[in-house]
Amino acid sequence: MSHSMRIHLKVWRQAGPNAPGRFESYTVENANEHMSFLELLDVLNEQLIKEGKEPVEFDHDCREGICGSCGVVVDGVAHGPQPRTAVCQLHMRHYKSGDTITVEPWRAKAFPAIRDLVVDRSAFDRIMAAGGYVSVSTGNAPDANAIPISKVDADLAMDYASCIGCGACVAACPNASASLFTAAKISHLAKLPQGSPERKMRVRNMVEQMRKEGFGDCSNHAECEAVCPKGISISAIALMRREYLKAATS
Amino acid sequence: MASKLDARIPAGPLKDKWDLYKNSIKLVNPANKRKHTVLVVGTGLAGGSAAAALGELGYNVKAFCIQDSARRAHSIAAQGGINAAKNYPNDGDTIWRLFYDTIKGGDYRAREANVYRLAQVANNIIDQCVAQGVPFAREYGGLLDNRSFGGAQVSRTFYARGQTGQQLLLGAYQAMMRQVSAGTVTMFPRTEMLDLVVIDGRARGIITRDLVTGKIERHLGDAVLLATGGYGNVYYLSTNAKNSNVTAAWRCHRRGAYFSNPCFTQIHPTCIPVSGDYQSKLTLMSESLRNDGRVWVPKKPGDTRHPSQIPEGERDYFLERRYPSFGNLVPRDVASRNAKYVCDEGRGVGETQLAVYLDFADSIRRLGRNKIEERYGNLFEMYERITGENPYEVPMRIYPAVHYTMGGLWVDYGLQSTIPGLFVLGEANFSDHGANRLGASALMQGLADGYFVIPYSLGDYLGGTRIEAASTDHDAFEAAETDARQRIGKLLSVKGSRTVTEFHRDLGRIMWDHVGMSRTKDGLEQAVDAIAALRDEFWQNVLVPGEPTTYNKNLEFAGRIADFLELGELMARDALMREESCGGHFREEFQTEDGEAVRNDRDFTFVSAWEFTGDPRTSVLHKETLEFENVKLSTRSYA
């Protein structure tokens, strides 16, 4: 049977990009073990609206861990305590009545604050625009089976391609590096023959764009891999470096 | 007015229509394409692929999405796969069979010519996606793997693990970002379309709101492409993403675009049940689970014993009992409806009693736990993450949920709505799935429309139309912007006592109870009145917090719920008008003694197309009669 839970929340509130932020404390009396963490925030917001206060803003959409919209730091960990779980899939049964949970936005120079828990992740789009694609215009494609690809490579490409672009890797990194995000796309395309002709240009341009956006460099902390909701391996970063070196020396 | 519904289907044999169309259309000179501005609203599979393809051709594209990045559109959540009659498995598939399965699956309420074209271009989609680097599943020989899906007798579904939608969307997104880099596409994320601007009878622009700053803006174009997805969230709880909504489509409807078949909605049988009032959305699990799971409830109403305590003789395997030949594998609508019936009888299980068991115990005994884990491991893991129960040991609890909407804005063969210059793509239009959509065909339609249909039909429009010079100072822009501002002002000024979510939840309950899996004349009439009353109350008593000039999710949602409150009534009216049972639309008055749907081909072989008249209560019905020249209408039977 489900039990009613009392949950205390310390939530980062910030009215706008240049406004000072602060933690506010709230209590939700009627939480429930079956709720997701975002549903707990929904209940808090309904409560705040009824009290004439402004609700806590946070990004969310699919609520099944695939769109990458949501992302907050829960008790110091990006997406919270459950491994390989986006915060929309974190359920309250992992907490007990009386717990206090601290909620913060992704913090990184390249992710400017918008409001409360919402940040601007458009830097990721610009990194993708710098080369995260195969240059093939519609209608040019040969038959899909014209080029066989080893299953091992195809599966590895899929592992890297499963990135949801949520930004947890940046939030968790002491250097606020976007290396895992950038490397995941570079590695996905580097594993496939279709991505090969422009691989050198791709890695140069994407890495350059990542720097321009103000993300830090990677110093092998591997915090990114630990919080990635898709469990993407930092082997991607190693591969990106090899690709970069090859591109830089040729 | 009936002439507005000219579908403009090319003459000629079914298999030649698309080629004949392409041979006869007007073209736009390459040097002139950049002079045309095309506004693409929505950047999921349909909008993203359209923006990419049009950018590649050299058009000046402005693309808008409500998410913070185009990569997050709800297409991303599609799990299963995408169909194409490549016939790589050599199992007898043909374009004709894909066409036939789709038209039959839609219960003969879709246009033959559109569906045939869909089946034709599906092969190009697979080629295009592979060329983009979409990592479809492969066999050890390095070639693409196929699986079977949704009762088709051939294996024609291409897939990328359980994340096919994600990979296809990222393919389209990356193609679009390449055009952003090339300067042909300008992206406007976190931007919501609030109205359509019609000048001299043509769609020429949109009014948008910046969802971060609240800034209202005007955008002028030579054509508007709407690819804003479905309206399943009218039910409050659905498998749709929270931001999915009908507003852009509904605003176009209010400006003159006819809305077709709004009552055709798809309810998916295998979702994780609702656990309480706070529930914000529902999660789908692949229906492949029904291959090895047995659906049952206790025979006795109100039996709250743990499932392991209920002996075999006191269980009712109701699908196997009612449909001995198809058993647990009856189609989505039949499985969903029967789950509802047993719960209505008080035999539902779990805390809410709105669930049925899906039990793998027999399969585990027969095949071993390893085999089941191999087949469904990721789904079992997902179920356990959400419910906290281990389905290897305790039967899963499942319940139907709203999943997809077949209805949408009316379009002709070239995807043009009843407003010239307004084109509608993907789930937002009504065109290809009739009264019921088959599995793995939503992704196919979105990409077909965007990559392979609109580049031609838009060219035909722009090449064959004299588009007058206009500016955003035009009176029509002024009027539309004023409307949008007043509406926002009004939403914020009511300052009532009930939240937007409370209204949405109430609307959802009415829709689910009366315009859901099983509909009756009485219920639908009640729904029409109840929705109208709720709508009136909404405008008197809604409480929208915050300011118009900041990020304000409640304000965004308030505008969307206001539109759902109009759409909901139209859905009920459409369902009331359609006195037959077909596909996802089941009217209890029209069934056999065995409870099977009774379609009425004599009176209802048409597409409904509703015209907005200023008040949802008086919408006017137009009909596009469907001609079947190539397939014979037959009755579905699964007994």
Per-residue pLDDT tens over the stretch B314-371: 999 999 999 888 888 887 888 999 999 999 999 999 989 999 999 999 999 999 999 8
Residue-wise pLDDT tens digits, B379-405? 898 899 899 999 999 999 999 999 999
Q: Which two tokens stand for residue B189?
A: 């994320």
- C-alpha span between B196 and B575 (Å, rounded): 27
Give the strands of the sheet with A22-32, arranged side by side: A22-32, A4-13, A100-104, A73-74, A77-78
For residue B2, name the pLDDT band (cuts at 50, 70, 90).
very low
Using DSSP, state whether B147 is helix, strand or coil.
strand
CB environment A56-73: b (16+ within 10 A), e (fewer): bbbbbbbbbbbbbbbbbb
CA distance A232 to chain B (A): 15
- C-alpha span between A205 and B561 (Å, rounded): 43
Considering only CA atoms, which of B567, B520, B505, B585 is closest in space to residue B266? B585
Residue-wise pLDDT tens digits, A144-192? 999 999 999 999 999 999 999 999 999 999 999 999 999 999 999 999 9
Q: Are A186 and A202 in contact (CB under 8 A)?
A: yes
Contacts of A68 in chain B (CB under 8 A): 69, 71-72
Q: What is the pLDDT of residue B638?
A: 66
Q: Are B89 and B215 in contact (CB under 8 A)?
A: no
Q: Give the DSSP letter of residue B381.
A: H
CA distance A218 to chain B (A): 25
Residue in the block written with tokens 């009669």: B625
CA distance A151 to chain B (A): 5
Smallest Cβ distance to A114: which of B138, B212, B276? B212
- Per 3-state DSSP, what percentage of chain B is helix, strand, and coil (rounded to 5)? 45, 15, 40
Q: Are A36 and A65 in contact (CB under 8 A)?
A: no
Considering only CA atoms, which of A187, A192, A193 is closest in space to residue A236? A187
From first to last of the 250 residues of chain A, give the pLDDT tens digit. 567 999 999 999 999 999 999 999 999 999 999 999 999 999 999 999 999 999 999 999 999 999 999 999 999 999 999 999 999 999 999 999 999 999 999 999 999 999 999 999 999 999 999 999 999 999 989 999 999 999 999 999 999 999 999 999 999 999 999 999 999 999 999 999 998 999 999 999 999 999 999 999 999 999 999 999 999 999 999 999 999 999 999 8
Reading phi first (left if > 0) and then psi (alpha if -120 to 50, else beta), residue B49 is in: alpha
Smallest Cβ distance to A158: which of B135, B276, B452? B135
Q: What angle do CA A120, A124, A126 make, to 5 degrees?
A: 105
- C-alpha span between B299 and B531 (Å, rounded): 36
- Give the count of beta carbons closer than 10 Å to the beta carbon of residue B244: 25
- DSSP per position, A157-206: HHHHHT-----HHHHH-TT-B-HHHHHHHHHHHHTSGGGGGGHHHHHHHH
B residues 304..343 contacting A (CB < 8 A): none
Contact across the interface for B67 and A189, Cβ inside 8 Å:
no
What is the sign of the dihedral through the CA atoms of B455, B461, B467 and B473? negative
Q: Are B408 and B427 in contact (CB under 8 A)?
A: yes
Smallest Cβ distance to B67: which of A39, A46, A69? A69
> A12 vs A81, A117, B382, B420, B575, CA distance in Å?
18, 7, 30, 48, 47
Contacts of B67 in chain A (CB under 8 A): 61, 67, 69
Q: What is the pLDDT of residue B287?
A: 78
Single-letter code of the amino acid located at B549 = T
Contact across the interface for B546 and A54, Cβ inside 8 Å:
yes
Kindly state whether A19 is in contact with chain B, defined as any CB-CB distance less than 8 angstroms.
Answer: no
- Give the count of beta carbons closer than 10 Å to the beta carbon of residue B394: 17
What interface predicted TM-score (ipTM) does this complex get? 0.98
Smallest Cβ distance to B69: which of A54, A125, A157? A125
- C-alpha span between B7 and B410 (Å, rounded): 9
Q: Are B432 and B289 in contact (CB under 8 A)?
A: no
Residue-wise pLDDT tens digits, B231-287? 999 999 999 999 999 999 999 999 999 999 999 999 999 999 998 889 999 999 887
Contacts of B212 in chain A (CB under 8 A): 114, 120
Q: What is the pLDDT of residue A224?
A: 98
Reading phi first (left if > 0) and then psi (alpha if -120 to 50, else beta), residue A230 is in: alpha
- C-alpha span between B269 and B290 (Å, rounded): 10
Contact across the interface for B69 and A118, Cβ inside 8 Å:
no
B522: which residues sit within 8 A by CB, 6+ positions away? none
Contact across the interface for B181 and A129, Cβ inside 8 Å:
yes
Q: Are A81 and A74 in contact (CB under 8 A)?
A: yes
Q: Are A90 and A75 in contact (CB under 8 A)?
A: no
> B250 vs A40, B558, B623, CA distance in Å?
31, 14, 19
- C-alpha span between B453 and B467 (Å, rounded): 22
- C-alpha span between B501 and B507 (Å, rounded): 10
Smallest Cβ distance to A49: which of B140, B175, B554? B554
Single-letter code of the amino acid located at B479 = A
Please report, to the nearest 10 degrees, the dihedral formed by the alpha carbons of residues B45, B403, B275, A99 taken in order: 10
Give the strands of the sheet with B356-359, arranged side by side: B265-271, B396-405, B356-359, B294-298, B315-316
Q: What is the pLDDT of residue A16?
A: 96
> A141 vs A137, B425, B595, B605, CA distance in Å?
8, 23, 48, 39
Q: Which domains does chain A have, with CATH numbers?
A: 4-104 (3.10.20.30), 122-248 (1.10.1060.10)
B residues 22..81 contacting A (CB < 8 A): 49, 52-53, 56, 67-74, 76-77
- C-alpha span between B575 and B564 (Å, rounded): 16
For residue B413, name the pLDDT band (cuts at 50, 70, 90).
very high
Contacts of A142 in chain B (CB under 8 A): 127, 131
Smallest Cβ distance to A39: which of B178, B181, B280? B280
Between helices B247-254 and B553-577, what is the axis angle to 10°? 60
B332 in catalytic set: yes
Q: What is the pLDDT of residue B3?
A: 58
Q: Which domains does chain B have, with CATH numbers?
A: 269-402 (3.90.700.10), 475-625 (1.20.58.100)
Cross-strand partners of A111: A108
> A226 vs A38, A203, A229, B17, B256, CA distance in Å?
21, 24, 9, 54, 52
Q: Which stretches of B151-215 are assigned E, i.e. beta strand?
A: 157-158, 185-188, 191-199, 202-210
CA distance B178 to chain A (A): 6
Kindly state whether A122 is in contact with chain B, defined as any CB-CB distance less than 8 angstroms.
Answer: yes
Closest-CA residue of chain B to A129: B177
Provide the total of helices (H) and of strands (E) in chain B, helices listed first. 18, 21
Q: Pick the catalytic residue from B332, B397, B437, B519.
A: B332
Q: Which two tokens stand for residue B31?
A: 């040097």
Kindly state whether A236 is in contact with chain B, defined as any CB-CB distance less than 8 angstroms.
Answer: no
What's the rounded mean pLDDT across residues B533-547? Answer: 98
Q: Are B197 and B367 in contact (CB under 8 A)?
A: no
Q: Which two tokens stand for residue B85?
A: 């009659």
In this structure, what are the phi and psi dihedrals at residue B621, rounded to the nearest 5 degrees? -90, 130
Using DSSP, state whether B498 is helix, strand or coil.
strand
Lowest-pLDDT choice from A225-234, B367-376, B484-493: B367-376
Q: Are A66 and B163 in contact (CB under 8 A)?
A: yes
Contact across the interface for B242 and A61, Cβ inside 8 Å:
yes
Q: Pick from B125, B215, B275 the residue to mutate for testing the A interface (most A CBs within 10 Å).
A: B275
Please report, to the nearest 10 degrees, the dihedral formed by the alpha carbons of residues B248, B262, B73, A132 taken in order: -100
Q: Are B590 and B579 in contact (CB under 8 A)?
A: yes
Single-letter code of the amino acid located at B474 = H
What is the sign of the dihedral through the CA atoms of B60, B62, B68 and B71? negative
Q: What is the pLDDT of residue B639?
A: 65
CA distance A63 to chain B (A): 7
Cross-strand partners of A77: A74
CA distance A174 to chain B (A): 24
Reading phi first (left if > 0) and then psi (alpha if -120 to 50, else beta), residue B87 is in: left
Chains A–B, number of C-beta pairs less than 8 Å apart: 224
Contacts of A53 in chain B (CB under 8 A): 545
Lowest-pLDDT choice from B66-70, B203-207, B299-303, B439-443: B439-443
β pairing state of B498-499 and B542-543: parallel
CA distance A222 to chain B (A): 25
Q: Which two tokens stand for residue B221?
A: 């174009």
Kindly state whether B182 is in contact with chain A, defined as any CB-CB distance less than 8 angstroms.
Answer: no
Residue B1 pLDDT > 60, yes or no? no
For residue B150, name the pLDDT band (cuts at 50, 70, 90).
low
CA distance A169 to chain B (A): 17
Contacts of B142 in chain A (CB under 8 A): 148-151, 154
Contacts of B174 in chain A (CB under 8 A): 128, 132-134
Please write down the HEC assignment for all residues of B220-259: ECCEEEECCCCCHHHHCCCCCCCCCCCHHHHHHHHCCCCE
Considering only CA atoms, which of B280, B253, B337, B339 is closest in space to residue B569? B253
- C-alpha span between B584 and B465 (Å, rounded): 39
Diameter over CA atoms, chain A: 64
Kindly state whether A123 is in contact with chain B, defined as any CB-CB distance less than 8 angstroms.
Answer: no
Contact across the interface for A59 and B68, Cβ inside 8 Å:
yes
In this structure, what are the phi and psi dihedrals at residue B410, rounded to the nearest 5 degrees? -65, 135
Considering only CA atoms, which of B392, B482, B279 is closest in space to residue A91? B279
Contact across the interface for A138 and B452, Cβ inside 8 Å:
yes
Contact across the interface for B177 and A133, Cβ inside 8 Å:
yes
